[in-house]
Structure 1
Amino acid sequence: MNAVLVAVMVMLVLSLARVHVVLALTIGALTGGLLGGLGIEQTVTVFSEGLGGSATVALSYALLGAFAVAIARTGLPEVMVNLVTKMVGRNSDTKKVVLSKALIFFLLVLVSSFSQNVVPIHIAFIPILIPPILKILNELGVDRRAIATIITFGLTAPYIFLPYGFGAIFHGIIADNMKENGLAIDLATIPKAMALPTVGLVVGLLIAVLFTYRKKRTYENRNIVGAQAEKQVYTKWTIGAAIVSIVVTLVVQTMSESMIIAALAGLVVLIGSGSLKWREADNVVTEGMKMMAFISFVMLTASGFASVIRETGHVDLLVSQTAMIVGDSKAAAALLMLGIGLFVTMGIGSSFATIPIIATLFVPLGMEAGFSALAIISLIGTAGALGDAGAPASDSTLGPTAGLNADKQHNHIWDTCVPTFIHFNIPLFVFGWIAAMVL
C-alpha cells in the first residue's frame, strides 16, 4: 500500500464524512507516516516541525479577518445592501433579479481574476468584499455554491494560463523545475500548453452557474461574525474612510507583497480616521481572528500533512509503480500521471508547492513514455491546478469558504470543495488528458 495514496484517501473520506478537516488532515498524516515506515515518534516530529510552514499565511488571514470586521463596522455593507435593494426592487421583478445576479457574477469573476494577474493580491479581497454582500446574495436567492465556484475559477484559471502576476511565478516554477529534471523549455510555450486545461475550467464554470446552481436557494439573514446586532450607524465620513482603507490595503499589498502589512495599514486608516473607535479595536481584532481561525488552522495543519507525505519517500515509489503499470501506452501513462498528480496535490493543496514534486516525477516518466515537451508541461500544470481547484486544504477553496461562511451558513467541504471538485477537477482531468494526447 502506497502511503501517499492511503493518507490522502483517509483525509478525503473523513472530510466527506463531516469530520473536521483539521482532524482529517492530522489523522491522514499519522496514517501516512506509519504506513511509510516513519514510526509514531518520527511522524509526530515531522508533522509538528512542518506546522510552521504556513505560520505567516495563518497570521495574514487572521489580520485580514480583523480588517473585514472593521469594515463591517463602518456601515459600508449597509450602503451596499441598500443600493442593490433599490436596483433589484421590492416587486420581485424577474428581469431585474436576473440582471443583478449577472452583474454580481461578472464582477466577482473580474475581481478574483484580477487578483491573480493585474493586481496580485490573491485572496486578500475575499474577507473584505464577500461578507458585506451576503445579505445582497440572500435577497437575490443566489446559491452560494455558485459563488464559491466563481471565486475559485478566478483564483485558478488566470494564473495557470496567463504569464502575468502570480501566473509569471507559476510558469517560472514549471520551467525551472523541468530544467532541473533534464528538460529545458521556453516560457512562451507554457500558455499554449495550458490552453486546453483552461478551457476545461471555463466549461466547468459555465455548467455550475448556468445549470447546477441556477435555482434559487434560501438563506437566513444573519449578522456576520463580529458585526453588531443593531443596524449600523454610518456617515459619509465613515463610508469614505472605509473605501480609502480598502484602496490603501490593496496598494500596500501590491507594493509590500505582504497581507500582514496590508491588513495593518487598512486598520490604521480606519482607527486614524475615527471610523473605528480605539476602545472598540480590541474587540474587532478578536472577532476578526475568530472569523478566520478556521482557515488559519487548516493551512497550518496542511503544512504538517505535506511534510509527512514528503518524508515517507513514497511519492518516488508511486512513480516507479506507475511506470511498471503503464508500459508503452501513452494514453494510460497520461491517465495515471494525472491520477498521481490529483492525489499528491489534493493532499498538499497548493499548486505552487507541489510543482517541484510533480516535475520530479513527470519529467522522467513523460520522456520515457514519449510525450512532447508541450504535453509534459500540460500534465505538470494540470496536476498542480487540480490541487488548487478542489482540495480541502487549498487557499483557493478555503478563501471562498471564509467569506461565504461569515454568517455560518456555508459548509467548507460540501458547499465549496465538492462543487469545485466536480466542476473543475473533473474537466481539468479530462481536458488535461486530451492536451497530453494531442500536443
Structure 2
Amino acid sequence: MLNAVIISVVVMIVLSLLRVNVVLAILFAALTAGLTAGMSLVDTTNLLVSGMGEQANTALSYILLGAFAVMIGYSGITGFLVRHLIRVLKGKKAFMLLTIAAVASLSQNVVPVHIAFIPILIPPLLHLFDKMKLDRRGVAASLTFGLKAPYVMIPAGYGLIFHGIIADEMTANGMAIHVGQVPLAMLIPGLGMVFGLFVAIFFTYRKDRQVNELTNDEIAASEESNLTFNRYHIFTIVAIIAALAVQLTSNSLVLGALTGIVIMFLAQVVPFNEGDKVVNDGIKMMGMIAFVMLIASGYAKVLTETGAVADLVESSAEALGGNMFLGALMMLLVGMLITMGIGTSFGTIPVLAALFVPLALALGFSPLATAALIGTAGAIGDAGSPASDSTLGPTAGLNADGKHNHIWDTCVPTFIHFNIPLFIFGLVAALLL
C-alpha cells in the first residue's frame, strides 16, 4: 500500500498548483492521509481539529501583529521610509533585494522577531516595487532566504534553537554531538541557499515585471504623503521599541504586539473610534496565515498519529542495501516530503532524528554528516511549502494589495531557488563530512 505521507503531500501540492485555496488543499491532504492510513473520516477530522490547538498561540500572535502593523501604517511613519528609498534605490533593484534579504536575516538572529517585521515593512513598499518594476517573486525569495538561511547556518537567536534541537535529538537517539559542532555541519547546506539567492536576484528575476499599473495619485501618495514629522510618529517609534522589548524579555509575540497596540491607543496615534477598523484590517492582512498555521498543525498531528512517517523511513531503509549515497539521497527526499506537508523545520527535526540516527549509524555516517543530513532534511521543504510561515509571511506582506499569488509567486520560486540547492549541497556535505 502506498504511504499516506506521500499520497497526502502529492494531493496538497497538486491542489495548490491548481490554485485551490491553500486551506482547502491542506484540509483535503489531511483527510487523504487519514483515510489512506485506514482511519475513519470522523476520526481523522477529530484528530485534525485537536491538533489545531497546538498553534493557537502562534495564530493569535499573527492576528495581533497584523493589527499593530495596520496601526503603524495609520501613523504615516512608513511614508518617510518609502520616500527615502525611492530617492536612494531608484533603479537599483539588486541592491533593494539584497537589502530586504539582510533585514529579514536580522529578524532571525540579531532581533529575533521572525515574520513580525513583514506586515510592517513590506506593504508600504509595494508602490515602490511597482514603480521600479521590481519582480515581487524576487522579493519573496529575498524574504524567505532571510527567514530561513540564518537559522540554518548561524548559532544565534532562532539558529541556536534549531541547532540545539538537532544536537539534543541526535544525542537522545544514540549519536552524541555537541551543539557547537552543528554550525560546521550546516555550513555547506547554508551556502547552497546563498547560491540560490544570488541566482534569483542576478539571473531569474533581474528583468522588469509590472504587476500593478499605478495611477498618478498613487505615485504622488507614495512619494509625498506624511512628510511632516510629528509627535504621533515619535509615539509610534516608542510603541515599536516597547513591543520589541516586551517580546524579547517575555518571549511572547502576543504580549509584545499587545503592548504596541495599547501604547498606540493610549498615545492617540490611532483614535479609539478607529479600533474596529484597524483590528479588522489586521485580520484581513494576517488572518489567512494564522488559520493556515492552525490547520497545518492539525495536518501534522494526523501524519504523526497515523504512523505513516515512521513507515516511510523504515521502508526506505530496507531499500538502501547499505549504500551511503542512496541513504543520504533517501533521507533528504523523506525530509522534504515531511517538511513540505508539516510546514516547519523545527517540528520536523525530532521526528527525523528518531528515525535517521539508527539508519545513519548502520550506514556508517559520522556525527557531523548525520547532523548535516538531519538539519538539511528538516530545512528542505520549509521554503516552498504552502503551509510554512517562511512562505506565508512573505505572501502576507506582498499580497496586501491583492497582486501576489501565494503558490505561483512565493512557493514555487522559493522551492526552486532554495530546496534544489539545499538538496545538492546537503548531499555533498553528508558525503564529505
Map 1:347-362 onto structure 2 (within 5 A): 347-362=341-356
Whether 2:273 is the aligned partner of 1:279: answer: yes
Name the residue aligned to 2:120. Answer: 128
Map 1:30-429 onto structure 2 (within 5 A): 30-87=31-88, 96-98=90-92, 101-220=93-212, 221=214, 235-429=229-423
Equivalent residues of 2:94, 2:202 under 8 A apart: no
Equivalent residues of 1:71, 1:242 under 8 A apart: yes
Provide the rounded CA distance (Å) in 1 between the counterparts of 2:39 and 2:302.
9
Provide the rounded CA distance (Å) in 2 between the counterparts of 1:105 and 1:201.
15
1:62-82 per-position Cα deviation (integer Å, ceiling 9, x unaligned): 111111111111112333333
With over 3 angstroms needed to count, the CA separation of the structure-2 counterparts of 1:214 and 1:305, relative to structure 1, is same
1:386 shift after superposition? 1.0
1:30 shift after superposition? 0.5
With over 3 angstroms needed to count, the CA separation of the structure-2 counterparts of 1:111 and 1:161, relative to structure 1, is same
Provide the rounded CA distance (Å) in 2 between the counterparts of 1:102 and 1:265.
36
Provide the rounded CA distance (Å) in 1 between the counterparts of 2:159 and 2:8.
30
Equivalent residues of 2:5, 2:303 under 8 A apart: yes
1:407 shift after superposition? 0.8
Secondary structure in structure 2 of the residue aligned to 1:328: coil
- Greater shift, 276-285 or 197-206, is seen at 276-285
Provide the rounded CA distance (Å) in 2 between the counterparts of 1:380 and 1:141.
40
The count of residues paired between Structure 1 and Structure 2 equals 427
Equivalent residues of 1:75, 1:234 under 8 A apart: no
- Greater shift, 347-356 or 248-257, is seen at 248-257
Provide the rounded CA distance (Å) in 2 between the counterparts of 1:254 and 1:141.
37
TM-score (norm 1): 0.93
With over 3 angstroms needed to count, the CA separation of the structure-2 counterparts of 1:298 and 1:234, relative to structure 1, is farther
Unaligned runs of 5+ in 2: none
Equivalent residues of 1:194, 1:378 under 8 A apart: yes
Equivalent residues of 1:319, 1:365 under 8 A apart: no
1:109-128 per-position Cα deviation (integer Å, ceiling 9, x unaligned): 22211111111111111111
1:253 shift after superposition? 1.6
Equivalent residues of 1:146, 1:213 under 8 A apart: yes
Name the residue aligned to 1:23. Answer: 24
Name the residue aligned to 1:92. Answer: none
1:134 shift after superposition? 1.2
Secondary structure in structure 2 of the residue aligned to 1:42: helix
Name the residue aligned to 2:424. Answer: 430
Provide the rounded CA distance (Å) in 1 between the counterparts of 2:19 and 2:416.
18
* Aligned AA (1:54): Q
Equivalent residues of 2:399, 2:405 under 8 A apart: yes
Secondary structure in structure 1 of the residue aligned to 2:386: coil
* Aligned AA (2:298): G
Secondary structure in structure 2 of the residue aligned to 1:116: coil
Provide the rounded CA distance (Å) in 1 between the counterparts of 2:225 and 2:280.
21
Provide the rounded CA distance (Å) in 2 between the counterparts of 1:166 and 1:146.
24
Provide the rounded CA distance (Å) in 1 between the counterparts of 2:322 and 2:64.
52
Provide the rounded CA distance (Å) in 2 between the counterparts of 1:85 and 1:378.
42
Equivalent residues of 1:200, 1:428 under 8 A apart: yes
1:436 shift after superposition? 0.8
Provide the rounded CA distance (Å) in 2 between the counterparts of 1:254 and 1:111.
18
Provide the rounded CA distance (Å) in 2 between the counterparts of 1:316 and 1:267.
44
Provide the rounded CA distance (Å) in 1 between the counterparts of 2:236 and 2:129.
21
1:389 shift after superposition? 1.9
Identity of aligned residues (%): 52
1:232-253 per-position Cα deviation (integer Å, ceiling 9, x unaligned): 6965222222222222222222
Name the residue aligned to 1:91. Answer: none
Equivalent residues of 2:5, 2:33 under 8 A apart: yes
Equivalent residues of 2:67, 2:279 under 8 A apart: yes
With over 3 angstroms needed to count, the CA separation of the structure-2 counterparts of 1:235 and 1:188, relative to structure 1, is closer
1:103 shift after superposition? 4.1
1:305-352 per-position Cα deviation (integer Å, ceiling 9, x unaligned): 100000111111112211121112111111111110000111001011
1:155 shift after superposition? 0.9
Provide the rounded CA distance (Å) in 2 between the counterparts of 1:211 and 1:272.
48
1:370-396 per-position Cα deviation (integer Å, ceiling 9, x unaligned): 111111100000011113222111111
Equivalent residues of 1:302, 1:348 under 8 A apart: yes
Provide the rounded CA distance (Å) in 2 between the counterparts of 1:400 and 1:73.
21
Provide the rounded CA distance (Å) in 2 between the counterparts of 1:269 and 1:102.
37
Provide the rounded CA distance (Å) in 1 between the counterparts of 2:237 and 2:62.
20
